[in-house]
Amino acid sequence: MNRGQPDATRAFPEIRRAVRQFKRRKLDRAAALLAQRRTAPWHERSFCVGMFADKAPLEALDAWCRFEPTCADAWLLRGIRRVHWAWEARGSGRAAEVEEEMWPVFFQRLESAVSDLSWAAELVPEDPEPHGRLISAAMGLSYEPEQILELLRQALARDPEHYTAYSTATYALTENGVAVTTRCLRSRGRPPPEPPRKTTWQAS
């Protein structure tokens, strides 16, 4: 997080304490906090998961996945963090401004994120969060619009009001999102897809 931006966890001291301990490789508080959120409304858990993944060091998440290989929350958080990590490698500039050697790094990190999030979804099938978070990786990996819509459908089947899934899919299937996907395709030496008809952008 940039220094000029407010720290969202300040309003949530429980999360701040858990992140602080997590950085010291003490997993108990974080695991308990996330487990408690499974019984909360999904949107509350989504908010908590997002803040935690943004703060948690990747090295600590790697250790958690090794220590508890069947803990869905560990894989979910690492998957989200790896999506962020991929975009950190690429940067937020135009495709022409991205250094050529960073494209393979970007795609490799996104593919690792897809693997983590897919495993989290398999471990806890009723959780909408992995499906919603997969959409960001899907856009960077140039998934077809129908594939993105399927991820949205999977998330909404579990939580019809899942904000992360709605907002990310909406961006991915708008003109700006399609432009991002097209630039990623070209960087991989693949032709851009035909623009989808608007009727195919609606989940049904």
Q: Are 117 and 82 in contact (CB under 8 A)?
A: no
How does pLDDT run along the chain (204 residues), one tens digit per residue? 333 333 444 547 777 777 777 766 666 667 777 776 666 677 677 877 887 787 778 888 898 899 889 999 999 999 999 998 998 877 766 666 777 787 888 889 999 999 999 999 999 999 999 999 999 999 888 888 889 989 999 999 998 888 889 888 888 888 555 555 555 555 555 544 443 333 333 333
- Give the sign of the dihedral formed by CA 153, CA 156, CA 160, CA 163: negative
**How is domain 8-201 classified at the CATH fold level?**
1.25.40
Per residue in 49-79, pLDDT (tens digit) is 887 787 778 888 898 899 889 999 999 999 9
Rg, Å, the chain Cα set: 17
Query: 61 CB contacts (<8 Å, ≥6 apart)?
Result: 74, 77, 78, 81
Residue ranges in 56-71 assigned as alpha helix (H) = 58-67
Percent of the chain at pLDDT above 90?
Answer: 27
C-alpha span between 103 and 97 (Å, rounded): 11
